[in-house]
Amino acid sequence: MLVPRRVKFRKQHHPKRTGAAKGGTSLAFGDYGIQAMEGAYLTNRQIESARIAMTRHIKRGGKVWIRIFPDKPITKKPAETRMGKGKGSPEGWVAVVKPGRVMFELEGVTLEIAKKAMALAAAKIGVKSKFVAREEAHTDAS
């Protein structure tokens, strides 16, 4: 599971999920990728399950890059607790994903396998996303 080694502060403010991604909007490492079409919080469990789904489908054939990291703590108050008495305790870690952000990249497989693997990963994360391919890689695979 992806978790920061240590953080300066245990609790943080909730970041804005509106607006387009400031960086990480194009393919940097692999030939194929998954690009977010809407803003969301992705938990470390969602990222891990998407990674497992992709690597199982490509049968350890290619290389996978995870371009997002869950570095933001999310707090939650216990059930049936009255309002007030401070902020809740940290419950998990999330990555803030904004529209246009490339979340996963893949190389070393054919276009068909990459599309299927990315579709499996997209089903796991629950964010509206699209498949993107590098122009050179797209012509080589077909």
Q: How much is the pLDDT for 63? A: 93
The beta strand positions in the chain, using DSSP E, are: 32-36, 40-43, 63-66, 72-76, 89-97, 102-107, 129-133
Terminal alpha carbon distance of the chain: 35
- Residues in CB range of 77: below 8 A, 6 or more apart: 87, 88
- Map tokens 């309002």 to a residue: 83
The span from the CA of 64 to the CA of 86, in Å, is 41
Mean pLDDT of 33-60: 94
Q: Which two tokens stand for residue 78?
A: 């216990």
- Cα gap 43→1, rounded to integer Å: 10
Please report which confidence band the pLDDT of residue 47 belongs to, taking 50, 70 and 90 as the band edges: very high
pLDDT tens digit sequence for 59-108: 878 999 999 999 999 999 999 999 999 999 999 999 999 999 999 999 99
